């Protein structure tokens, strides 16, 4: 386990990161309901730090205290100490580091805390005292019996989900990056075209099921690999990247026999096949415009590991559900769930994340399946169905959509 003390030296460099600039948008807010009264706290969105609430008013409403420091700020609520690392997606609870999807930051002299602290962290860590009510966008403080009623009155969707879930769907490749050229696709049709068609169908199906979808792209444009997973931030439950696999020309003899679908997650049990896919998908990096030094790399590494360990089980479960669901409609082989730790598009994920290879363009049958409108729709619906099942399980584990009230 990583102690927060270990990250401290590296964190100092990061704390000097550029200050947040809050986006001007229609004011939205959450409500803090306590035995002492009710307070409304505004929610703002920073392009990098995510959804934020002002620390002062929030902690006052919770009768807690803030001890400013650099680079750590300590917040005490219900005698629990939460240390937030300014400018990094992490907090320390007692001596344990935990990942966040966004981060605490200062705007001028004012401390802003991730909204996730209110919607997830407090209700989990101090469950006997706090509950998040997603339907009303309120944090309710009190003994469990007193809180039960408002939470239960949230109306569920026909599929059993609470309203307000957000999922990111990523159409692989785009713009100058065609992805694989599509050996058995018609001339001019490449992987990037099929992934966009499929992503659009998955989006429509999820929308029909009451799940809000953030698309990394809706047009033929290039999005850097490292930026894609960032679309799934604090208010997003799952990142789904869609791709089409292909054997390269050296394996031409096996085009006929290798077909089917598989899902990759970030993990340490690298399989040869997952690494082959990772190398192929990472190839998109060569189309990207390099940017200068992203952030302190040592800390990055520790944070990435934290996120991975935190979400490995969730990602694996989502991947299993997707495989089982596609299996019902795909005529190719179910090639299972694999792990790789070098897949660039998933490496920056701050949420559970999966990459689905929906078939092989180097196989005649798979190519036909991926281009036919009816089978496209069936595969997209299967992926959406698996996502809904995943969200249902996520709710059963105690997770809830951030809130429809704050959108």
For residue 74, what are the CA distances in angstroms to 64, 80, 83, 106, 142?
Answer: 11, 10, 4, 14, 23
Q: Which CB atom, from 50 or from 260, has the smaller least distance to Zn ion?
A: 260
Query: How far apart are CB 277 and Zn ion at their closest, in Å?
Result: 8
* Cα distance between residue 138 and residue 153, in whole Å: 13
**Sign of CA pseudo-dihedral 209, 210, 213, 219:** positive
Strand blocks (E) in 89-246: 90-93, 96-99, 105-107, 110-114, 130-133, 138-141, 166-171, 212-215, 238-245
Query: How far apart are CB 356 and Zn ion at their closest, in Å?
Result: 10
Strand pairing class (96-99; 105-107): unpaired
Q: Which CB atom, from 213 or from 284, has the smaller least distance to Zn ion?
A: 284
In 3D space, the residue among 109, 148, 349 whose CA is nearest the CA of residue 237 turns out to be 349
- Residue number of the CB closest to Zn ion reads 243
127 by Cβ neighbours in 10 Å (0-12 / 13-18 / 19+) ranks as exposed
* Cα distance between residue 229 and residue 391, in whole Å: 18
Query: Which residue has 């229609």 as its token pair?
Result: 26
Q: Which CB atom, from 46 or from 281, has the smaller least distance to Zn ion?
A: 281
Q: Which CB atom, from 164 or from 179, has the smaller least distance to Zn ion?
A: 179
Query: How far apart are CB 243 and Zn ion at their closest, in Å?
Result: 3
Q: Which CB atom, from 147 or from 243, has the smaller least distance to Zn ion?
A: 243
Query: How far apart are CB 134 and Zn ion at their closest, in Å?
Result: 34
Query: How far apart are CB 9 and Zn ion at their closest, in Å?
Result: 38
Query: How far apart are CB 179 and Zn ion at their closest, in Å?
Result: 4
Query: How far apart are CB 385 and Zn ion at their closest, in Å?
Result: 23
Token pair, residue 243, equals: 């791709």
Binding footprint of Zn ion on the chain (CB under 5 A): 172, 179, 243, 281
Q: Which CB atom, from 13 or from 183, has the smaller least distance to Zn ion?
A: 183
Q: What angle do CA 245, 250, 252 make, to 5 degrees?
A: 70
SS (H, E, C) 172-214: CCECCECCCCCCCCCCCCCHHHHHHHHHHHHHHHHHHCCCEEE
Q: Which CB atom, from 12 or from 279, has the smaller least distance to Zn ion?
A: 279
Question: For the chain, percent helix, then strand, then coil, each to nearest 5?
Answer: 35, 25, 35
Query: How far apart are CB 222 and Zn ion at their closest, in Å?
Result: 13
Q: Which CB atom, from 141 or from 245, has the smaller least distance to Zn ion?
A: 245
* φ, ψ of residue 30 in degrees (nearest 5): -115, 165
**Sign of CA pseudo-dihedral 119, 124, 129, 133:** positive
Q: Which CB atom, from 87 or from 182, has the smaller least distance to Zn ion?
A: 182
Q: Which residues contact 148 (CB under 8 A, 6 or more apart)?
A: none
């Amino acid at each position: 386990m990583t102690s927060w003390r270990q990250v401290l030296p590296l964190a100092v460099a990061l704390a000097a990161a550029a200050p947040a600039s809050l986006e001007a948008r229609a004011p939205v807010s959450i409500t803090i309901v306590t035995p002492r009264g009710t307070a409304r706290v505004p929610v703002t969105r920073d392009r990098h730090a995510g959804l934020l609430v002002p620390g002062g008013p929030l902690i006052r409403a919770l009768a807690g205290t803030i001890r400013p420091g650099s680079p750590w700020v300590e917040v005490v609520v219900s005698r629990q100490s939460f240390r937030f690392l300014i400018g990094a997606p992490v907090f320390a609870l007692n001596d344990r580091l935990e990942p966040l999807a966004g981060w605490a930051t200062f705007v001028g002299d004012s401390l802003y805390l991730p909204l996730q602290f209110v919607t997830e962290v407090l209700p989990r860590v101090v469950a006997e005292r706090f509950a998040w009510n997603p339907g009303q966008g309120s944090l309710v403080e009190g003994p469990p019996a007193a809180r039960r009623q408002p939470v239960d009155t949230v109306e569920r969707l026909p599929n059993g989900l609470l309203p307000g879930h957000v999922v990111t769907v990523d159409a692989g490749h785009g713009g100058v990056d065609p992805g694989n050229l599509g050996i058995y696709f018609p001339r001019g049709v490449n992987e990037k075209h099929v992934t966009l068609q499929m992503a659009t169908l998955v989006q429509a199906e999820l929308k029909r099921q009451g799940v809000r979808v953030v698309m990394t792209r809706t047009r033929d444009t290039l999005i850097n690999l490292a930026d894609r997973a960032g679309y799934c931030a604090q208010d997003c439950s799952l990142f789904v990247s869609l791709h089409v696999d292909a054997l390269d020309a050296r394996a031409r003899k096996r085009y006929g026999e290798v077909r089917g679908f598989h899902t990759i997650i970030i993990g340490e049990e690298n399989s040869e096949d997952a690494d082959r896919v990772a190398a192929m998908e990472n190839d998109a990096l060569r189309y990207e415009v390099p940017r200068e030094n992203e952030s302190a790399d040592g800390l990055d590494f520790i944070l990435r590991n934290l996120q991975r360990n935190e979400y490995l089980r969730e990602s694996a479960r989502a991947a299993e559900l997707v495989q089982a669901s596609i299996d019902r409609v795909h005529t190719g082989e179910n090639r299972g769930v694999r792990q790789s730790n070098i897949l660039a598009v998933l490496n920056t994920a701050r949420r559970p994340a999966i990459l689905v290879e929906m078939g092989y363009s180097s196989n005649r049958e798979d190519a036909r399946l991926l281009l036919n409108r009816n089978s496209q729709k069936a595969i997209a619906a299967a992926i959406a169905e698996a996502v809904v099942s995943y969200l249902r399980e996520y709710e059963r584990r105690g997770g809830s959509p951030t809130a429809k009230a704050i959108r």
